[in-house]
Amino acid sequence: MTPAGCKRQRGAIAPERGAAVEQKVLGKTDVRVPAIGLGTWRYSGGPEPLRRGIALGATLIDTAERYGTEAAVGRAIARLRSRVFVATKVRHENLRYEQVLRAADSSLLELGIERIDLYQIHRPSQQVPIAETMAALEMLVDAGKVRFIGVSNFSVAQLKSAQAASRYPIVSNQVRYSLVNRAIEDELLPYCQRHGITVIAYSPLSRGLANLVGGLGDRALMRVAAAEGRSPVQVALNWCISKQNVIAIPRGSTVAHVEDICAASDWRLSEESITMLEAAYSGPIVRTEMA
């Protein structure tokens, strides 16, 4: 079932009947992906939380070579492949041409799939020319092993270099973005919005609700949650995906947490609530480890 006002486009990943996760267009493609997906960095929940998320419409699952969770994702989606948009990443130590090709084959084997929907450079390398890495990614697309190319943790300058070196579009940039870390709003987010690049927000809850509470932010978040009749988690995530071109991939290691996460979509915070949150969370950036 598609969200109200949205027509199913060719290539859309269809949630189960009754699921209500909003979908957004990926980059400049004709493919729609859920505005709320599931991240798996430090994931330990087993298959059931991921399967519950898929059932609720969170059909994008993000993993990575360096996370060590590709096999777990593969087990969770084993009989659900046609309904899941699988995103993974090649680690930045493996960005030489042949290394990328070997890493992709390894990820395909771990995931138990024949094609990666979104293959991302996990972070830029200072040692390997971006043109060499992009050539390998192009080869993977040509071979039918990768559907779309993305990057992660790239600045505007690095993103421009990747775009210039590729025959295929860069459809996404996965970066840290949350109420307490809004650094991308200065330059990177506007660039992606202008050029039709999806921003995939990792750590949209700043690695846990505890990092979102305290001081004015705490009071504003709780006040908005009460006014909207939503949980603080849902408010924080809905704020994130209210931004043009932004989707979020929080981690949910229990079924209950995944259900809370998925309920962050298919509704909108009021402009008053957004203004209140952004005023309260305008202080120093909370630094956390890069995923």
* Catalytic positions, written as ranges: 67
Angle between helices 215-228 and 271-280 (to 10 degrees): 160
Shortest CA distance to 83 belongs to which of 110, 108, 57? 57
Q: What is the DSSP letter of 16?
A: P
Give the whole-angstrom CA distance, residue 289 versus residue 279: 25
For residue 169, with 0-12 CB atoms within 10 Å meaning exposed, 13-18 middle and 19 or more buried, which class applies? middle
Q: Tell me the helices (H) and strands (E) count for the chain, helix number first.
A: 10, 10
Give the whole-angstrom CA distance, residue 40 versus residue 95: 22
In this structure, are strands 198-202 and 170-176 parallel, antiparallel, or unpaired? parallel
